[in-house]
Structure formats: structure tokens, C-alpha cells
Amino acid sequence: MLNDLAKNTPGFQFTVFDFYNCSSSAHNHLNYRFYVSNTSCCGVGTHDAYGCSMVNVHLKLCEYQRAYFFFDGRHNTDKAQEEFAHLIFGADANVVQPMTLRELIV
């Protein structure tokens, strides 16, 4: 659909970021140095993902957030967001197509 729109609309350019494959590969590889990807940094429960910002919930906050992929049940850590930004702006053609955001801006 976007390819057709780009063909039929002069000057229209786009980029698509494959968040699912990016997040799957990011927290499964040690290149990104996420040592903990199956639990959250802040919260309680099975995966420490519940109640991070809730009142009257006695939660656990990890000591080193940059080692975690997930901050709580809804958010990635700042380090995960930094890695996503790096991929969007110019790194991996497997997760950003047909061009990176850097190519789109220039």
C-alpha cells in the first residue's frame, strides 16, 4: 500500500520500522548487553511487571536499569529505546525498510 502511494504521489517517501523483529532480536542477543530480558526492572509479580507506579504496591526496583530490556509491564528501559533509535536512524536494513530515517531526512 505504501509502495503504491509512493509511486503515485510525487515526493512521498516513507520508512517502516519492524518493532517486533527488532525487539525480538534485541533482547535475545548479548550484543545489546541486555542481561535480563524475561523480567522487568520495576514491579512485582511473576515477571516483576505489575504495579510500578501504583500507590500501596510494595515493588522491587532493580539496581542497574541498563541491564534490563523492560522497565515495567508497559515500557522498555532507556537503553532499549536508545538501541531502537540507533536502528531506526541508520543501522539495520532488516528492521527498517525501504530506507532509514537518516536517509529519509537527508
pLDDT number for residue 78: 92
pLDDT greater than 70 at residue 11: yes
CA distance 88 to 15: 9
Domain extent listing, the chain: 2-38+64-105
pLDDT number for residue 44: 81
If DSSP codes are grouped into helix, strand and coil, which group holds residue 4? helix
Nearest-5° Cα angle at 66, 42 to 94: 110
Which tens digit of pLDDT belongs to each residue from 47-68?
Answer: 777 778 777 666 778 889 889 8
